[in-house]
Chain A
Amino acid sequence: MKHSKLFFISTCWALSALSQNIEELKNKFPGTNAVILNSNLNYKIKVENDVPKVESKDFQQLLFLSANATAYWGRYGFSHSSFHKIIEYEAYTQTPNNKKIKVTDFKTSDNQSNSIFYDDVKETIFDFPAISEGSIGTLKLSISHEDPHLLSPFYFSRSIPVVNSELTVTYPKDMKIKYLLMGNDTSKITVSFETKKNENIYTFRVKDLESEKKYPDAPDNAWYSPHVIFYIENYKNKNGETINYMSNLNDLFELDKSFVKNINKEIGSELQKVIDSLTHHVTNAEEKARKIYNWVQQNIKYVAFEAGMEGFIPRDANLICSRRFGDCKDMSSILTTMLNKAGVTAYYTWIGTRDLPYKYTKVPTTIVDNHMISTIKLGDKYIFLDGTDPFCPFGMPPYAIQDKEALVMINENEYKVLTVPVMEKEKNIYIDSTIIELSDKTLKGSISINMQGYFTEILNSTLTYTDEKNIKEQLKIYFNRGSNKFTIDSISIGNRSDKNKNRLLATFSLQDYAKKIGDEYFINMNLLKLFEHQEIDYPKRKSPIEFSFLYTKKYITVFKIPDGYKITYLPKSKSYHNEIWGFDLTYEQTESKVIVTYQFNNDHLLLTPDKFELWNKVLEQLLPMYKESVSLSKK
């Protein structure tokens, strides 16, 4: 299920401006090659035959500021779909000497995303011709928004600076429009309201926005980038009656409910057989739920067909069972159906993944969610089951929906909004133990990594999608340490039957790691140097950092002192914590061993910029510890 945002291809840049402006803009945005001079999106909402009808006109101008622009920045584009149909489009370049050269060659293709097998989102690209410093590329679009429930939020920032960005919404006077300003800093957005004869107009405007920098560990830009959400609350029909459209959560529920009303009326013999085989002689509800969830996880593969209303309406459970594949809505459909049939109370449930920052309680519109799961009730407890994740342990929600509100359909007349719990750091444990001994300059040793919770889920995914012959190479991401002379001698993988727990074991050699000078050895026992070069780009970075889940990590390294040697230098232990995070490092020495232990915890799903300075403070304390070696000499 997906709400396609109309977007503009951000890797392709173009610019344009009036010549007197160019120098000014170059000073304002140093080093930039192109700016969006104007981005005006004008929505016009009408009521025809008692239903809302929405069209928009988009006007975009890019000013090219660099002589090097031709070969690299002229490509531009736009996307569209059956919900956002292109009525007209036009693009041209205005050269500095005011010649207008039209774009004649547009190419349209299917926009492919990794997770969706087939939908109807298209992408049209073209090249602005005759680009030079000072030329302006213009794109004009008219779009018909076929379903006014699905109006996309408007984003002001782009990957290049924006000089002027404006959204207007024109609508009948007897209609009510609601808007919300979202993002980290909405203070630059000016909002004005104007009323004309039969129409009201909202205008949202931002001037002079820097380019938006993308960081790979940032959440979706909905979390921080300034944007406007707007939707129709209600309107009046011909008879003057008020029609509620998206006035509150009840309206959204009515809409969502309509998507599931015609499915799963009957259970066919194939599906019934599966249910029977799973629940035969099982009386305990939780046990039934575990078995059914596990079957769906193992047997129904995720394949998403999401063209048009296929993106909203789940398919019938019987069809899914026979096909052995489905998308998130289908997984919800088959899970809910099978569970209820087996006597476990289960509900269709809509939810936004953590890509979306919105709450049902604040934004009761279709943009709030992008996913469907099934919720079951065991006693007083609600458990969230997501069939799209084959590795998720029963009882844990997939990490991508933690802390999100779920809209649970209790029955045709009733819904509940429940919050998916965040799994505590004590449930996601990673303990990495290394035992090493010296063999001349080579370290030999063994590693055992014990995982619990989401760590296991990630491991199981890696193991499943790796060929047996490549497994050793693939698991190096877990084992690698010391230097790239690290070689694995053998590995073994624990039992995968428990989705919540697993273990990896390896024996290894690490050549030339120890320094030997005369009778002395120097060994840096910080084989992993975790968080090295992970200082946050503070104070520049404005987008938060997203963590998949909370965790507890412990790294233990045990060094066996060789016979005839004694430790001549042992680095000091250290702990440092602030309110964001911290570490505990200990060096211990026994008769025959040196033991180094590091512990790190993560208490954040989202680290906001106000915490970056304190985050970096911990690294200032931690990283120097990695410079310390243990030294040994002959007794």
Chain B
Amino acid sequence: MKKIINFFVSVFSLCIANAQENSYIPEQWDENPVYHKLESKYNSESAVTILDKRRIEYVDEKNEQFIYRTYHRIIQVHDDKGIETFNKIYLGVSDNSDIVDIKARTLTPGGKVKELDKNNIKDLKESDGNIYKIFAVEGLEKGSEVEYYYTYKRSAYYFGREMMQSSTPCLNASVQIVAPSRLVFECKSYNADVKPVDTLLGEKRFITIQLANLTAIPDGEKYAHVRANIQRIEFKLSYNLSRSSVEKVFTWNELAKRIHEIYTTTTEKENQKIETFVKENSWSKLNTEKEKIVTVENYVKKNFAPREDVNTKEAENLEKIIKNRVTSYTGIVRLYAAIFKTLGIDFQLVLTGDRSEFTIDKNFEFWNTAENHLIYFPTLKKFMAPTRIETRFPWIYHNWGGANGLFCKTTTIGNFTTAIADIKPVPLEDYTSTVSNIEAKVSINTSTDTAEIDIKQIHSGYEAPPFKASFTFGSEEEQKAFIKELVKFGTNSEHVISTKLENTDFESYNENKPFILNAKVKASELVERAGNKLLVKIGEIIGPQVEMYQDKPRQLPIEIEFPHILERKIDFIIPAGYRVKNLDDLILNNVYKENGEITMGFASSYVVEGNVVKIHVTEEYRKINYPISQYEDFKKIINTAADFNKIALVLEKIQ
């Protein structure tokens, strides 16, 4: 996505060429800083942010527009943890940016001020490409305040996201967008109820958002998308009044058009290369559209490496892609698009957000959220994820579904083809197709107090990728270790007699053939003794379960990775000469219904047939999210599964 926006910046910049030049607002701090006395409720915090002030200012210089980004922060540190968190400061900057101003100082509770020597500021470039100015804060002691601000100048961007919460509580936060009056920005807050204030002062337009008393980011909650729930501000440019006061810029339609251009425009030479490539692989001879999609996907995912951190122009050229087989995300999508076009397969490019972070908001045209690629096949009404080597049609990376996507619907006017935007949900596959099942036969060797287990672990749908990836890409050593872990999960034993694997390959994924691990195991750990009685820990067959027995008050709604079902069938063979004294312990039931239909639940039961106890367990989560109001019910279900895991059957000798 970055690419798309960069392109627009250069086009856009041209139309401001004649704008009047102006200068940025320099940041200042108090020459004589005053120590802040905080309310006692903050005493137990390691550190408190007193001020978090951000300003994004658009400035015209010569024929270009730049951003001066200012960040000013004051933090009071209270203990060793606070000191060690804030005595090393990392200030994010961007590629090719110039630091305009940077200052930092320490104020001790006794009023001593120590300012940073700018010579001690170093540059740091991380492997993911992020660049920082870093320095250590001098003279910090308990109770001190760290204050710093910096302004850097960079090429302008027209979509901005400010995450407002951090690991410390914050007393006062603000974001200000300052721009020449002709530029009209729209601004939206998420997870926070604040309204931007828009004022015009001379030639400058100010949008200001104030937030007070922000809490620290909640941590440690299970089944939660923390990042998605952080208070944040997003802004985008919507009108350039010098061009038009009615024509909106950076709309979803504009993005769809751009996407269409980037991913489907090819040169004659590229077309020829693709035609030869398609021919060599005989894909057009395949019968159905689905066969073609599936075969192309399997071939490309096996032989090409899409890399998120590759961003050269070369990596987008189809001739080079076919030669090098290492390419960028844009390159791989271009490759699929060209192949499908050559094969005459109808498709739409789709961009999505990520449910664990940010999802597309139909009413706020914030392009940066549309950052993940899908290809939609309208005839089959199914999706494919071109950049993910571990998924196969129709399975996509689960967090990209279950939320809105931007569908680029092509339309042809005369001989000109373009695309228009359709924002609609990307549905995930039905809950019944993603399973994590267990089928087990358990018998007891009473002379050695060992359970002999024949167990099948079955995983399909959205559950399958980690298993298939491990057995496709892992070394022999890693595969062995993984099998050992899997077996241990359901038996608490490392004593494996034999194992058999099915459908470890990706080629079987399209048909949703489940990954199956079948193991024969001796588990001495499952049998305990008390005098002449045997305790068989039958519940351990379903493996350790997440528990929520002791939880702090819930802050975030419940999020499930994907709808799924866990069905376990356990046959327990009662050893000769014994009887089970507590079979009814096996019956547990906690099911939640909405409008008469189950949305989540755990239910276990049994029947006895001869000397076999047939145990049946169904656990299911049919939705991807549940409101916080259903938290107690959800917790009960999670804990019921954890309770089942602790069930032990008591066996007594028949006299």
Residue numbers of A with Cβ under 8 A of B are: 30-33, 67-68, 70-72, 74, 101, 104-105, 107-110, 112, 117-118, 123, 125, 127-132, 160, 211, 213, 299, 301, 303, 305, 307, 322-325, 390, 464-470, 473, 483-485, 487-488, 511-512, 515, 517-518, 522, 524, 532-533, 535, 568-569, 623-624, 627-631
Contact = CB atoms under 8 A, between A and B. Distances in A.
A484 B84 contact: no
Contact of B476 (A30, A68, A303, A628): A30
B136 A325 contact: yes
Contacts of A631: 530-531, 533
Contact of B136 (A104, A125, A305): A305
Contacts of B310: 105, 127
B643 interface: yes
B585 to A, nearest CB: 9
The 6 closest A-B pairs by CB, nearest first: A31-B476, A569-B531, A629-B530, A129-B324, A631-B530, A487-B550
Interface stretch (B265-273, B297-305, B341-349, B408-416): B297-305
Give the most central of A31, A130, A470, A627: most B CB within 10 Å: A627
A207 B326 CA distance: 31
Contact of A629 (B325, B529, B547): B529
Interface in B270-314: 301-307, 309-310, 312, 314
A72 B473 contact: yes
12 contacts: A70-B304, A71-B473, A74-B326, A107-B309, A112-B127, A117-B136, A129-B324, A299-B141, A483-B646, A511-B549, A623-B524, A629-B530
Contacts of A487: 549-550
B485 to A, nearest CB: 11
B81 A464 contact: yes
Given A110-B125, A628-B530, A303 B547 contact: no
Contacts of A624: 524
Interface residues of B, number: 72
A33 B532 CA distance: 53
A467 B304 contact: no
A515 B426 CA distance: 49
Contact of B475 (A33, A67, A74): A33
Nearest to B532: A569
A301 B530 contact: no
A515 B81 contact: no
A128 B389 CA distance: 18
Contact of B124 (A107, A110, A568, A623): A110
Nearest to A302: B84
Contact of A112 (B84, B126, B532, B549): B126
B524 A466 contact: no
A96 to B, nearest CB: 13
A627 B530 CA distance: 8
A101 B324 contact: yes
B25 to A, nearest CB: 32
Contacts of A33: 473, 475
Contacts of A390: 80
A485 B646 contact: yes
Contacts of B494: 533, 535
Nearest to B526: A627
Interface in B521-564: 524-525, 527-533, 535, 544, 547, 549-550
Given A105-B312, A390-B80, A483-B646, A68 B472 contact: yes
Contacts of B83: 301
Contact of A123 (B127, B305, B307): B127
Given A71-B302, A101-B323, 10 more contacts: A31-B476, A68-B473, A71-B305, A123-B127, A129-B324, A132-B303, A213-B477, A485-B549, A517-B581, A627-B525
B55 to A, nearest CB: 28
A522 B323 contact: no
Contacts of B307: 127
Interface of B: 44-46, 79-81, 83-84, 87-88, 114, 122, 124-127, 129, 134, 136, 138-141, 219-220, 301-307, 309-310, 312, 314-315, 323-326, 389, 449, 472-473, 475-477, 479, 488, 494, 524-525, 527-533, 535, 544, 547, 549-550, 581-582, 642-643, 646, 648, 650
The residue in B477, B529, B530 that gathers the most chain A C-beta atoms within 10 A of its C-beta is B530
Q: Which of B80, B315, B479, B544 has most A Cβ within 10 Å?
A: B80
Contacts of A32: 475-476
A2 to B, nearest CB: 16
A466 B80 CA distance: 10
Contacts of A627: 449, 524-525, 527-529
B301 A323 contact: no
Contacts of A628: 528-530
A130 B325 contact: yes
Given A101-B323, A301-B84, A631-B533, A70 B305 contact: yes
A515 B650 contact: yes
Given A70-B303, A117-B136, A533 B488 contact: yes
Contacts of A469: 44
B386 to A, nearest CB: 13
Contacts of B549: 484-485, 487, 511
Contacts of B324: 101, 129-130
B530 A630 contact: yes
A104 B528 contact: no
Contacts of A517: 581-582, 650
Nearest to B304: A70
A620 B475 CA distance: 30
B134 A109 contact: no
A470 B134 CA distance: 29
Given A107-B309, A109-B126, A324-B140, A71 B528 contact: no
A465 B80 CA distance: 7
Contact of A129 (B44, B79, B306, B325): B325
Contacts of B140: 301, 324-325
Given A32-B475, A71-B304, A473-B220, A512 B550 contact: no
A71 B530 contact: no
B400 to A, nearest CB: 19
A533 B307 CA distance: 39
